[in-house]
Amino acid sequence: MSIRKILKYGDDFLRQPSKEVHKVSKKVQDLIKDLLDTMYACNGVGLAAPQIGEHLRVFVIDVSTNDEPLNPMVFINPKIIKKEGAVVSHEGCLSFPEAYTDVRRYKNVMVKALDKHGRPFVLEAKDGTLLARAIQHEFDHLDGVLFIDHVRNRFEADKILQENGLPPVDTERLIDEAEMEEILKNEHQQNGEE
């Protein structure tokens, strides 16, 4: 299909919630192809519809590594139905070129969605794998939430954003994740004692 322009952080469109897909139409099929083409062209792991200017609840992920065949996954109208644990994830985003920082993510997630044919499926991703983190990252995009809203060190993130010519962290949008932070601190202390 075509490689689309990816909206950059600072564009208000990225902060708006997306609408449910009511029918997996040709338009939605074309959107999926564009998402995949754009993600692969930019060497991304995932891409959500809002990032290319479409307010539909659709995202794509491919966590295959260099020596593995491509394994594109399509999520339409996803819902995270289970989440537990906590992990630190060093993340970036195609809407934040070259900007990476540490964020909090759930260690295990279970997602329910429709595939590219409109068939329902359930997928569980565990142990803080790239897939588990990518699902959460892309799912957030559908609600207008960005990875920096989960940042562990706002000041470090601001410095990285500034170095890359991007706006600072929006402190009004920071998500209070005290429970996850507590889990991370406890795990860190346990590992330090062993």
Active site residue 138: yes
Helices of type H across 42-177: 130-142, 154-163
CA triple 150-126-136, angle to 5 deg? 30
Output DSSP code: residue 160: H
147 near 170, Cβ under 8 Å? Answer: no
Which tokens go with 55?
């307010």
Q: For the purposes of burial, counting CB atoms within 10 Å of the CB of 69, is it exposed (0-12), middle (13-18) or buried (19 or more)?
A: exposed
Catalytic residue among 54, 91, 138, 177: 138
Which tokens go with 2?
């075509």
HSE of 68 in the Cβ direction (CA atoms, 13 Å)?
7
CA triple 90-93-94, angle to 5 deg? 150
Please identify every residue annotated as catalytic: 138
